[in-house]
Amino acid sequence: MKVEPDTSLHVKQILSRIKIICQKINTPHPLGVFYGENPFDYSFSLISFQIILIILISRIIRLLLKPLKQPKIVSDILGGIIIGPSVLGQSPTFTRTLFPENAVFLVQNVGIMGFMYFLFLAGVKMDLNLVRKSGRKHMWTAMIGVIVPAIVVAMVGAVLQSSMDKELGRVSGIGAVATNLALTSFPVIYLVLKELNLLSSEVGRMALAVAVIGDLLGIFVIIIFEALKQGEFSTQSALWYSVSTAIIWVFFVIPVRRVMAWIVRRTPEGKPADQGFVILILLGVLVMGFFTDMFGIAIANGSLWFGLVVPDGPPLGATIVEKSETIVMEILMPFAFAFIGLCTNVVSMASYGWSGLAPLFTMFIVGYISKIGSVWMSALYFDMPMKESLALGLILNLRGQFEILIYIHWMDKRIIGIPMFTMLVILTVLVTAICTPLIGKLYNPTRPYMVNRRRTIQHNPPGKELRTVICIFDEENVAGLIDLLEVSYPTHNNPFSIYGLHLVDLVGRATPVFIDHDKLDEPLKYTEHETIYNAFKIYQEARRDFVKLHFFTAFAAKRTMYQDICELALSSKASLIILPFEKGMLDAPPRTEIVRHGHGTQSISSNVIAHAPCSVGILIDKGHVRKPFMLHNIGQTFNNYVMLFLGGADAREALTYADRMAMNPEVSLLVVRVLAYNDEGNNELEKKLDDGVVTSFWVKNEKNERVIYREVVVRNGEETLAAIQAFNNSANDLWIVGRKQGINSVILQGLSNWGENHELGVIGDYIASLDFGSTASVLVIHQQVMRGQGMPTSES
């Protein structure tokens, strides 16, 4: 009889306990449903539908949560949870059809790639110079906000250690939880602040600076945690981990950083980085992920560290962000949230029992409270207002993608399982969902702009300098703005103080920057900026006796640029802000507006008008269509300006500004006052104020041959437009009009639906349009609205 060896018997015993699953590998494309085939049986159709489903569910949830002021991260995580085993995944048919095991493998790996590129872009945008520039307040707030929660959570963990799972109860497990709760998450904070329009606010800037410092501390803490975890297996493992980490850091800091600097030097000024370099860098993210995973370092660390050595802003950082951000955030990240949802199982959490979850839950709640409290008290110590200090504490407690990726890493290290992971994901959603609307309630960045003092041209005392903030978006704005300043006629008796603000879109960096050029040791290295600055400097030097120039540059997101503008106007005590309005295609067909969205200046203009602490002028410069409205040729005698006075506060402000221009010997001014027939619809107080300003203007200019005054009477809006059209001719160089405050509704009757550029008002929008047929530039004036308790008050 043949006797089988013991080894063969042992193998058979093992094989008998193994469950072997055979799965069919499908071809990528079906022949079609008309051949009786199910598209979900084929890999390409399945993955396409998964992307559609994930994005669609997230967008629907975002729409539903929008009234509750919830950030995008909350709806994205909830979308992932819905497609997972907690909700739709409860149906075996749904799981078997849309997320079979071979498809889940793909979703998980693409999701990890999404996390890698997300953290890489976060590293690219992060400005490490903030650490060097940060003051004592930022450093101490960051340190206290990290150390205090870490100690408190570690103490709670030590007390509850006996009731924890074996892996979680280790020193490395408690340390991981304590440090995670103590650290801030710059990538998440940046995204939420961007949604709340707080990037350029005082609290927003401080939160970003503190978050950068906290994240740098976090990098070192995570390295220490990983070394401790490796040391639990053997001292040799911890040693090799430390050596490999040091090698990667040296590789990043020396050769990689030098290559990045070489790419920046090789890129021509004002041009984006070469596409070949961008592709190589994006490929480098995967290379770094491979090596960090091979050395036992968390995959996300490599991509984040790689992003940190890429110079932020133009030309390299901005190009990388512009070319990849949409794909990463809208295509790859949905896979990451699907991965989160597939790992989240509320049913397993319920079956696991409260006794097993309670220690970790307690540590996290204590961590959240101690984090908010420590930051709050630290900010109060440095004299921040009560509400702003609490808002800062809530901002630094926001949680999202970064923390969940750490929880996934904990599962890989077997510190926690699916039930605990599910609880942490739910806590992450709840904390961010609660903190975000509270931040909006506690902190209003526009509140300081709500002044109760008159800062207008009309109320600027005679002989006192007119402080004006001039906003510049690009080189095309410069000529028109300088021409406008020149015809405003600064003299010894009417001096000007100009606060030039060059607004640059925040691309490739996360932290807004506001630069005062009077305090710069060396000029900025941007060709466009130098051209703009030099143009205003030349203008000022030719009129140095009565024109002062202060120049600033603001790198900010377009949606928050209005905060920089209003903040500068407030601090400089300006009476006027002048904004250029973006021009659209000049060869547009009839019945379309000449003004279009362009660089997004429409929303900037609207926000400035809504929050400005002074009057606002919007300039539509059509100089290049016909000619600049201010020429310095010897043969040019007059520049012909038309001021439309329709009544109200804005019209009075516009007439006051036109009065200044009338003093210029090269300006011919026609003032047209539009009145309602039989004074129908007039507001008596507004009418008296209008009469007073018009009478004062006419008495002053009665003997000025270059000033003409006319009155027209109309019955409705149609007659108003006809009257204005009668004064339209090719000799006009500039139209000046008040925006809309206080205009008699009878004058505009029937025009309520005109145009789409509401920041210009009905009449301003009409005379700027191609329908009007004028090539003259347009200046729309909006007088400061006094605010009391956030509401407009009547004019004094």
Read off the CATH number of the domain in which 745 is found.
3.40.50.620
Domain match, 199 and 255 both: yes
Domain match, 413 and 489 both: no
Please count the other Cβ atoms lying within 10 Å of the Cβ belonging to residue 601. 25
Domain match, 473 and 433 both: no
Domain match, 541 and 623 both: yes
Domain match, 435 and 472 both: no
SS (H, E, C) 515-560: EEHHHCCCCCCCHHHHHHHHHHHHHHHCCCCCEEEEEEEEEECHHH
Residue 712: the pLDDT is: 92
How many structural domains does the chain have?
2
- Burial profile 51-66: b = 16 or more Cβ within 10 angstroms, e = fewer: bebbbebbeebbeebe
Residue 382: the pLDDT is: 87
Domain match, 628 and 753 both: yes
E strand or H helix that includes residue 668: strand 667-676
What domain range is 540 assigned to? 466-788
- The dihedrals phi and psi of 68, each to the nearest 5 degrees, come to -90, 5
Residue 99: the pLDDT is: 83
The set of residues, in sequence order, having a beta carbon less than 8 Å from that of 240 and lying 6+ positions away, is: 230
Would residue 275 count as lying in a domain? Answer: yes
For the chain, list residues with pLDDT below 50: 1-5, 7, 15, 584-600, 624-635, 789-796
Would residue 24 count as lying in a domain? Answer: no
pTM, full prediction: 0.80
Would residue 453 count as lying in a domain? Answer: no
E strand or H helix that includes residue 203: helix 202-231
Domain match, 514 and 643 both: yes
Domain match, 200 and 238 both: yes
Residue 439: the pLDDT is: 92
Would residue 727 count as lying in a domain? Answer: yes
Last residue of a domain, one of 426, 442, 458: 442
Domain match, 583 and 692 both: yes
**Using an 8 Å Cβ cutoff, are 580 and 619 in contact?**
yes
With CA atoms as reference, report the closest residue to 519 among 545, 551, 473.
551
Would residue 32 count as lying in a domain? Answer: no
Would residue 228 count as lying in a domain? Answer: yes
Where residue 638 falls (left for φ over 0; alpha for ψ -120 to 50; beta otherwise) is: beta
Inter-helix orientation angle 43-65/333-343, to 10°: 90
DSSP one-letter string for 204-254: HHHHHHHHHHHHHHHHHHHHHHHHHHHHTT-HHHHHHHHHHHHHHHHHIII
Domain match, 405 and 490 both: no
Would residue 40 count as lying in a domain? Answer: no
The DSSP letter of residue 330 is I
Cα separation, 506 vs 561, in Å, equals: 10
Domain match, 774 and 634 both: yes
* HSE value, Cβ hemisphere, 13 Å, CA-based, for 794: 5
Would residue 177 count as lying in a domain? Answer: yes
Residue 22: the pLDDT is: 55
Domain match, 350 and 471 both: no
**Using an 8 Å Cβ cutoff, are 793 and 786 in contact?**
yes
CATH number at residue 370: 1.20.1530.20
